[in-house]
Amino acid sequence: MAPYVRKTAYKGPVKALVLDWAGTAVDYGCIGPVAVFLDVFRRRGVTPTIEEARTPMGLMKKDHIRAMCAMPDLAQRWAAVHGQAPDEADVDAMYLETEPLMVGSIKNHCELIPGLLGAVAAFRDMGLTIGSTTGYTGSMMEVLRPEAARQGYRPDAVYCSTDVPAGRPYPWMCYRNAIALGVYPMEAMVKVGDTVSDVQEGQNAGMWTIALTKSGNELGLPLEAAESLPPAELAARLTAIENRLREAGAHYVAQDISQVPELLTAINERLSQGERP
């Protein structure tokens, strides 16, 4: 097949997906990272709220700490304990502790999200390749990748925040996936993730984006806890999450990865009409 040269609109099908890791492929509810961020602040006498710990999720871990330190309420509580707002030296010190703590946490939160392997099988049946991006660093992924492989999940490409000049919302990890998978143009790829920064990453890379509402950081509950919510409360919370992710620019939303294969049909239809994300 001749290489695609952009002179007209691309009207072919989706060729590849780029999946996030925690909250999308593993660690239902994105529990592991939150526990670490809470811990490193508590060690310094400051207790973040769950919302403060979750809001920057998806960023490179050092950027996540930096974003938390910039939150006015959290910075004010820090200043009450330390006499001044947190500075870059504080960010550096907390990040040094975060790295080994996160590696330890990953080992306890690496279970595949139910439905992942079925979705991956469906993607393979469609002839798609599977890449991935993450806010985790290289040393963290050295722990997570073999654990995921042991359970049967082996994406074709893996790029993390330390492989590129800057993590999300910059598109560099998505571009690295496109190169590794040999996919062009970027609208032939779909980014799947559970955070606002995932959506922004896909947008900035020129990809279609699918955001997950139930399995990831936005709901922030383990599977059993999510399933135990009263149906009306769960529905209301998922609707609010969907609205946030759509406002961030998500083209489609789903509760978890198991619902993604059916959405690709709609994307393929839009591509066939020459639409771009």
Strand partners, 38: none
Q: Is 137 exposed, middle or buried (0-12, 13-18, 19+ CB in 10 A)?
A: buried
- Residue 209 to residue 200: CA distance in whole angstroms: 9
156 catalytically annotated: no
Contact 13/266 with Cβ under 8 angstroms?
no
The amino acid sitting at 224 is: E
Q: What is the CA radius of gyration of the chain?
A: 19
Spatial CA neighbour of 211 closest among 245, 181, 177: 245
SS3 190: strand
Q: Is 151 exposed, middle or buried (0-12, 13-18, 19+ CB in 10 A)?
A: middle
Q: Choosing from 15, 20, 90, 256, which is the catalytic residue?
A: 20
27 catalytically annotated: no
Residue 91 has a CB neighbour count (10 Å cut-off) of 20
Q: Choosing from 61, 62, 191, 214, which is the catalytic residue?
A: 61
Give the residue numbers annotated as catalytic, written as ranges. 20, 61
